[in-house]
Structure 1
Amino acid sequence: MSMRKVIVLALILQVSLAASSPPPVSCDDLDRSRNFALGGEVDSPDQLEQDWCVDARAGCVDQWAADGNESTYWDEEDNQSQYHLRIRRKKEEEEVNISGVSISGYEQHKFAPRSFQLVCDEALVADVADARYRNNVFETCFPPVPCRVLDLIIFQSYGSSPAVREIKLLAKSQSSARSTHGKLLLPASAQSSTCAHLAGQLLLCLGKGNQEVCQGDRIAHWNCIKGEADASKQGLNGHRSLNRLKEYRYGYLLYNPFDIYFAVAIELYGEWSEKEVELMRRYITTGDYVVEAGVHIGSLTVPLAQLVGPTGRVIGFEPQRVVYQMASANVALNGLWNVVLYNAGAGNSSDAMPVVRVACCFTLKCFCPSSLQMPIASYHPNALRNFGSVRVGMVPDEEETSIEHVRIMSIDELQLPACDFIKIDAEGFETQVIQGGWTTISAFLPTIYFEDNELNGRIGCSATTQRLKTELGYDCYHHAAPYFNSDNWHKERIDYFFVGGEPTLSYMILCVHASRILAPPQLVQLPCT
Structure 2
Amino acid sequence: MKPSRDTAQPFWPTRYGIAAAVAADNAVARSLELYGEWAEHETLLLSGLIEEGQTVLEFGADFAAHALWMAQAVGPQGEVHVAEPRRIPFQQACANVAINGLANVFTHPVWLGRGKGTSSLGSLLPGHRPGTDEKVRVATVDSLKLDALHLLKVNQPYALVDILAGAGDTIRAHRPLIYARLSGMDAAQAEVEAIKAQGYRAWSHVPYLFNGENHAGVGTNIFPGMVQQNVVAAPADSRFEFAERLEL
Same structural fold, with TM-score higher than 0.5 when normalized by the shorter chain: yes
Change in CA separation of 1:455 and 1:345 when aligned onto 2, cut-off 3 Å: same
Give the Cα separation in 2 of the matches to 1:471 and 1:319. 25
TM-superposed deviation, 1:432: 0.5
Contact residue 319 and residue 392 of structure 1 kept, 8 A: no
Match of 2:231 in 1: 509
SS at 1:403 equivalent: coil
| Greater radius of gyration (CA) | 1
Which residue identity is paired with 2:156? Answer: A
TM-superposed deviation, 1:393: 4.7
Give the Cα separation in 1 of the matches to 2:62 and 2:10. 15
1:520 matched to 2:242? The reply is yes
Alignment of 1:251-266 (within 5 A): 251-266=17-32
Give the Cα separation in 2 of the matches to 1:301 and 1:407. 21
1:375 matched to 2:102? The reply is no
Which residue identity is paired with 2:120? Answer: P
Give the Cα separation in 1 of the matches to 2:194 and 2:132. 37
Match of 1:120 in 2: none
SS at 1:505 equivalent: coil
Partner of residue 411 from structure 1, selected from 121, 141, 150: 141
Which residue identity is paired with 2:215? Answer: W
Which residue identity is paired with 1:375? Answer: S
Match of 1:289 in 2: 55
SS at 1:264 equivalent: helix
Greater relative contact order structure (CA < 8 Å, 6+ sep): 2
Change in CA separation of 1:244 and 1:522 when aligned onto 2, cut-off 3 Å: farther
TM-superposed deviation, 1:519: 4.4
1:466 matched to 2:211? The reply is no
Give the Cα separation in 1 of the matches to 2:186 and 2:239. 25
TM-superposed deviation, 1:427: 1.9
Give the Cα separation in 1 of the matches to 2:168 and 2:78. 21
Which residue identity is paired with 1:487? Answer: E
Change in CA separation of 1:263 and 1:312 when aligned onto 2, cut-off 3 Å: closer
Give the Cα separation in 2 of the matches to 1:319 and 1:518. 32
1:421 matched to 2:151? The reply is yes
Change in CA separation of 1:260 and 1:429 when aligned onto 2, cut-off 3 Å: closer
Partner of residue 213 from structure 2, selected from 483, 487, 508: 487
Match of 1:478 in 2: 204
Match of 1:330 in 2: 96
Match of 2:68 in 1: 302
Aligned length: 248
Change in CA separation of 1:466 and 1:262 when aligned onto 2, cut-off 3 Å: closer
1:270 matched to 2:15? The reply is no
Contact residue 255 and residue 262 of structure 1 kept, 8 A: no
Which residue identity is paired with 1:511? Answer: A
Deviations 1:474-525, CA, capped at 9 Å, x for gaps: 2100111111111111222221112xxxx11110011112454354352111
Structure with more strand by fraction: 1
Alignment of 1:116-135 (within 5 A): 131-132=3-4
Contact residue 24 and residue 33 of structure 2 kept, 8 A: no
Give the Cα separation in 2 of the matches to 1:445 and 1:263. 32
Partner of residue 452 from structure 1, selected from 160, 182, 189: 182
What's the TM-score, normalizing by structure 1?
0.44
Match of 1:440 in 2: 170
Which residue identity is paired with 2:57? Answer: V
Contact residue 244 and residue 257 of structure 1 kept, 8 A: no
Alignment of 1:73-112 (within 5 A): 109=2
**Structure 1, gaps ≥5 residues long:** 1-107, 110-130, 134-191, 194-227, 229-242, 350-370, 378-390
Which residue identity is paired with 2:232? Answer: L
SS at 2:216 equivalent: coil
Alignment of 1:113-262 (within 5 A): 131-132=3-4, 192-193=6-7, 244-262=10-28
Which residue identity is paired with 2:228? Answer: S
Deviations 1:161-198, CA, capped at 9 Å, x for gaps: xxxxxxxxxxxxxxxxxxxxxxxxxxxxxxx21xxxxx
TM-superposed deviation, 1:266: 1.6
Change in CA separation of 1:317 and 1:409 when aligned onto 2, cut-off 3 Å: same
SS at 1:325 equivalent: helix
Change in CA separation of 1:255 and 1:345 when aligned onto 2, cut-off 3 Å: farther
TM-superposed deviation, 1:264: 2.9
Change in CA separation of 1:471 and 1:403 when aligned onto 2, cut-off 3 Å: closer
1:318 matched to 2:84? The reply is yes
TM-superposed deviation, 1:470: 5.0
Give the Cα separation in 2 of the matches to 1:405 and 1:339. 25
TM-superposed deviation, 1:314: 1.0
**Structure 2, gaps ≥5 residues long:** none
TM-superposed deviation, 1:394: 5.1
Which residue identity is paired with 2:59? Answer: A
SS at 2:64 equivalent: coil
Give the Cα separation in 1 of the matches to 2:21 and 2:246. 34
Deviations 1:203-234, CA, capped at 9 Å, x for gaps: xxxxxxxxxxxxxxxxxxxxxxxxx5xxxxxx
Change in CA separation of 1:329 and 1:483 when aligned onto 2, cut-off 3 Å: same
Query: What's the % identity of the aligned pairs?
Result: 27
Change in CA separation of 1:392 and 1:464 when aligned onto 2, cut-off 3 Å: closer
